[in-house]
Amino acid sequence: MAGKAAAPGTAVLLVTANVGSLFDDPENLQKNWLREFYQVVHTHKPHFMALHCQEFGGKNYEASMSHVDKFVKELLSSDAMKDYNRARVYLDENYKSQEHFTALGSFYFLHESLKNIYQFDFKAKKYRKVTGKEIYSDTLESTPMLEKEKFPQDYFPECKWSRKGFIRTRWCIADCAFDLVNIHLFHDASNLVAWETSPSVYSGIRHKALGYVLDRIIDQRFEKVSYFVFGDFNFRLDSKSVVETLCTKATMQTVRAADTNEVVKLIFRESDNDRKVVLQLEKKLFDYFNQEVFRDDNGTALLEFDKELSVFKDRLYELDISFPPSYPYSEDSRQGEQYMNTRCPAWCDRILMSLSAKELVLRSESEEKVVTYDHIGPNVCMGDHKPVFLAFRMAPGAGKPHARVHKCCVVQ
């Protein structure tokens, strides 16, 4: 039986994971990743579980097809998941379409004890009972049980082959309806460009894309419900402020390309101490001499530079972060805690929610701690991103104030 008898309501587990690395080195990484994921499932024993994956299939989807099939089969048939007798899997495998491909994968698992669960049909505009295990792939555009969009090319013109976008599904559990949105936003193309302005130009691009998604999911086409948006937001620390703080007593040396005079490297050295190099910054290099600053006290001292969500404070809520930056970890399977020196570590992977969804989550909080927001595999190599999860219990009748909206019983 999922959950504890002492805690009423529906146990919910939401997980976001950029899994690109798993398909670039499947032999070394997938086994560890799955073991850590199953451990979280075992600990929290959810009735309803959503796993949102980004970069599903890795950098070369076509070459990874067999690994993709194996990974999906393992998730659906493993002993650890045997009590989940219903599942929905949505994989964007349309890798030949530059116009549509997002490399997103959304997995939903329903425990055998969960009775009143329905999924929304966006075409028919009605809820349908969820039975059996079904996998949808290739052309998700024609699947009525979800909405999927890739962001327009002009959102990030310098990236010729971007795979950023979102997939939205809608669910109803015990008269409580909510949207789950799998999202992947744009990355920082260059550390040097990100350092130039505060906020960075990339932050503005992400702001525009996230605003588009939020407007889209509350537009007039469908009934408004609570929503959770979780994925790889690629949120970065404010680079200019971080560098100024980390290099307070350092002097900066600028290295330019001989032919174009373009800045190709910044070197920050201590004024004394034999001019020790503190930080080196290039387009894809962020080499700071002391990684402990990103791990000490889970990087709490750096949270003040995590500013991108502040623009949406009236629309989105997030629980307090108490885990270290989720990216970019070493992809060496022997290194579980080491960051790569390619980017400044940041909390890219997040679980955000509407203000009404916040009430669903926090309403379930009691003397017993039943809400957990954390990362998975702190000491194990999980690829360049650590998955992030939110576990909570949806209180019985949580959606009743809006029961007029969610007549989930009168559906097919």
Does residue 399 have a pLDDT over 70? no
Q: Answer whether residue 1 shows pLDDT above 50.
A: no
Three-class DSSP labels, the chain: CCCCCCCCCEEEEEEEEECHHHHHCHHHHHHHHHHHHHHHHHHHCCCEEEEEEECCCCCCHHHHHHHHHHHHHHHHHCHHHCCEEEEEEEECCCCCCCCCCCCCEEEEEEECCCCCEEEEECCCCEEEECCCEEEECCCHHHCCCCEEEECCHHHCCCCCCCCCEEEEEEEEECCEEEEEEEEECCCCCCHHHHHHCCCCHHHHHHHHHHHHHHHHHCCCCCCCCEEEEEEECCCCCCHHHHHHHHCCCEEEEEEECCCCCCEEEEEEEECCHHHCEEEEEECCEEEECCCHHHHHHHHHHHHHHCCHHHHHCCCCECCCCCCCCCECECCCCCCCCCECCCCCCECCEEEEECHHHHHHHHCCCCCCCCCEEEECCCCCCCCCCCCEEEEEEECCCCCHHHCCCCCCCCCC
Is pLDDT of 368 > 90? no
297: pLDDT confidence band, cut at 50, 70 and 90? very high
Reported as a pLDDT band with limits 50, 70 and 90, residue 400 is low
pLDDT digits (tens, 9 = 90+) for 134-164: 999 977 989 999 999 999 878 876 766 688 9
* Averaged pLDDT for residues 87-113: 94
- For 138-147, 308-317, 347-356, which range has the lowest pLDDT when averaged over its residues? 138-147
What's the mean pLDDT in 188-199? 95
pLDDT of residue 404: 43
> Cα–Cα distance between 410 and 412 in angstroms, integer?
7
pLDDT, residue 366, reads: 57
**What's 10-236+291-394's CATH class?**
alpha beta
107: pLDDT strictly greater than 90: yes
pLDDT over 80 (residue 401): no
pLDDT of residue 65: 86
* Chain mean pLDDT for the chain: 91
Range with top average pLDDT, 64-73, 157-166, 373-382:
373-382
- According to the model, what pLDDT value does residue 241 have? 96
Among 2-11, 19-28, 97-106, 228-237, name the one with the lowest average pLDDT: 2-11
- Please name the residues in contact with 322: beta carbons below 8 A apart, sequence gap of 6 or more: 298, 300, 373, 374
Cis peptide before 328 (omega within 30 of 0): yes
Q: What is the pLDDT of residue 408?
A: 47
pLDDT above 80 (res 56): yes
Of residues 309 and 406, the one with the higher pLDDT is: 309
Mean pLDDT in residue range 192-205: 95
Does residue 411 have a pLDDT over 50? no
More confident residue, 341 or 3: 341
Indicate the burial class of 274 (C-beta count within 10 angstroms; 0-12, 13-18, 19 or more).
Answer: exposed
Q: Is the pLDDT of residue 99 over 80?
A: yes
Q: Please, which pLDDT band fits residue 364 given cuts at 50, 70 and 90?
A: low
Domain coordinates of the chain in residue numbers?
10-236+291-394
